[in-house]
Amino acid sequence: MQRNLHILGIAETHLMGSNSVNVDGYCWYGHNRRNIHIRAKNGSGGVGLLVRNDFDQQFNIEIVDDNTDGIMWVQFKDKRCNANMFYVCVVYLPPENSTRAVNVHEFMETLMTHIYTIPQGNLFYLCGDFNSRCSDFSDSIEGIDCLPERDIVDFQTNGYGNIFCDFLIDVNCCILNGRKTLTNDFTFVSTRGSSVVDYCILPYEMLDSFNSFSVTRATTIIQSLGEPGRYDLRKIVPDHSLLTWNMCLYFPIEDQVSKNKDKNQTVTKIIKYDTKSLPENWLIGDSIVTEINRVILQLEQSEASQQNIDKMYENFVSVLKTEMSEKLSSKEIRISNAFNNKARKCKKPWWNSELTMLWNDVCKAEKNWNKCRLSNKKKGTASYLCPKTKTI
C-alpha cells in the first residue's frame, strides 16, 4: 500500500484450503497448495496476486491455469476491448533438496506448455521464487538474440541453474533482473548467506515494455515504515527482497483494432460440392462423354509441351466442374483471411514437404493432447512440443 503497487505477486503464501490474503484496496487471486499433511498447522508453498481495486475495475481478471502446485496463470482482459489482454504467472519452485522438491523438468515443461498457448503478440511475464542460481549463465543464444548485458551480483550456481537458463532459451524469454535497473541486489538475504533466486521473466521482444527494475531488501522497507504498529515487523523480517518494475501497456483503442481487422481481412468464397452422394447418371450422358472425348483428342493431337498439357488440364477441370454444378448439391463457404486466421499458410517460398509432415505431426499431437485426461497430459507434452519446435 505504501508503494501503491498495481499488482503484487506473492510466493510461499503458506495458506490452507480456501484461505486468502486480505489487504484494504486490493483483491486477492490465490492458488494454495492442495497436497499437504493432514496434521499440518500451516500450508506449504502457495502463490497469489494482489490486484489494486481500480485496476480490477479496468480489467476482467481470471485465473486461467492453477492445475499445478506452485504455478498460477492469471489473464487480464481489457473491459473496453477484449482483444487487449496480458498474462501474469506467479511461480514457486521448491528448493532441489527440499522435502517438497518436485521434478524440475516436468515443472518447466508445464510452464512452457502454457506459454505456447498464449496468443502471439500478447504481453506476459512470470515472477516468483524459482530457487535457481544461474550465475553468469546466458539466458539467450549469443549472436542471434540481441539483449542488453545483465548486471550479475550472484556468481554462484546450483542444480537448477542450467535447467532454468535452458528453459528461458527454449521459450524465448529473458531475465529482467540486472537489466534496466534502478537498484540491483541479492533477492535472498539471511544469516545463511545471500543469493539471487527470485526473478521476473519476460519475452525477448517485449523487453522494451519493462523498465525501472529495482530490488529492495525487507529491512529497508520495514525501516521506511517508521514506528511499529500492531505488529513489530523488526522481529519477523522476511529473508526475501521485494522486486519491482514498471510495465507499459501499449493497447490500441477499440476503433483502431476494428479498422486494422477490417483492413487485414479478405473474404474468399468457395463452392463446396457434396461428392459423397454421386447420382447414378454421374459422368454418364452424351454431352459429358462428348466433352471428355474432345479433351482427350486435343491432348493427343497437341504438341507435347508443358504449356499445352496445362491447358488441356484446365479444360478437363472445366468439364468436370460443369458436370458437378449440374448434378451435385453444393453450398457456399466463406473463408476469412484475417490476421487471426489459423488456416495453414503453406503457399510460402520456404515451405517444403518436410515442414508439411512436421506440421501434420503437430496437429495430430495437439489433437491427442487436448483429448487426453489431465493426469496423462504431462506424458504427452514432449510429443506435442517437439514437432512444433522443429517446425519453427
Residue 341 falls inside a structural domain? no
Number of domains in the chain: 3
Residue 263 falls inside a structural domain? no
Residue 166 falls inside a structural domain? yes
248 and 275 belong to one structural domain: no
165 and 310 belong to one structural domain: no
Average pLDDT over residues 214-235: 80
140 and 245 belong to one structural domain: yes
329 and 289 belong to one structural domain: yes
φ/ψ of 270, rounded to 5, equals -130, 135
Residue 49 falls inside a structural domain? yes
Cβ(198)–Cβ(239) below 8 Å: no
140 and 247 belong to one structural domain: yes
**Sole residue written with cell 506476459:** 124
Could you say which of 208, 237, 257 is where a domain stops?
A: 257
Q: How confident is the model at residue 240 (pLDDT cuts 50, 70, 90)?
A: very high
3-class secondary structure per residue, the chain:
CCCCCCEEEEECCCCCCCCCCCCCCEEEEEECCCCCCCCCCCCCCCEEEEEEHHHHHHEEEEEEECCCCCEEEEEEEECCCCCCEEEEEEEECCCCCCCCCCCHHHHHHHHHHHHHHCCCCCEEEEEEECCCCECCCCCCCCCCCCCCCCCCCCCCECCCHHHHHHHHHHCCEEECCCCCEEECCCCEEECCEEECCEEEEEEHHHHHHEEEEEEECHHHHHHHCCCCCCCCHHHCCCCECEEEEEECCCCCCHHHHHHHHHHHCCEEEEEEECCCCCCCCCCCCHHHHHHHHHHHHHHHHCCCCHHHHHHHHHHHHHHHHHHHHHHCCEEEEEEECCCCCCCCCCCCCCCCHHHHHHHHHHHHHHHHHHHCCHHHHHHHHHHHHHHHHHHC
Position 40 pLDDT exceeds 90: no
Most confident of 165-179, 310-324, 353-367: 165-179
Pairing of strands 181-183, 210-216: parallel
Could you say which of 230, 257, 284 is where a domain stops?
A: 257
Residue 248 falls inside a structural domain? yes
What proportion of the chain, given as a percentage, has pLDDT over 70?
Answer: 83
135 and 236 belong to one structural domain: yes
Tens digit of each residue's pLDDT (9 = 90 or more) over 252-268? 665 554 555 555 555 66
Enclosing domain of residue 275: 268-334
pLDDT the model gives residue 263: 55
Residue 160 falls inside a structural domain? yes
Q: How many CB atoms lie within 10 A of CB 133?
A: 19
Could you say which of 209, 225, 257 is where a domain stops?
A: 257
What whole-number distance in Å separates Cα of residue 267 and Cα of residue 258? 16
Position 384 pLDDT exceeds 60: no
127 and 276 belong to one structural domain: no
Average pLDDT over residues 178-200: 93
291 and 364 belong to one structural domain: no
pTM of the model: 0.65
Residue 226 falls inside a structural domain? yes
275 and 370 belong to one structural domain: no
pLDDT the model gives residue 355: 77
252 and 107 belong to one structural domain: yes
Residue 106 falls inside a structural domain? yes
pLDDT the model gives residue 345: 44
Take residue 41 and report the three cell numbers written for it: 498447522
Residue with the bigger pLDDT between 52 and 250: it is 52
Position 212 pLDDT exceeds 90: yes
Residue with the bigger pLDDT between 38 and 177: it is 177
Position 22 pLDDT exceeds 90: yes
Average pLDDT over residues 110-115: 93
What whole-number distance in Å separates Cα of residue 195 and Cα of residue 188? 5
211 and 360 belong to one structural domain: no
DSSP bridge pairs for 10: 48
281 and 165 belong to one structural domain: no
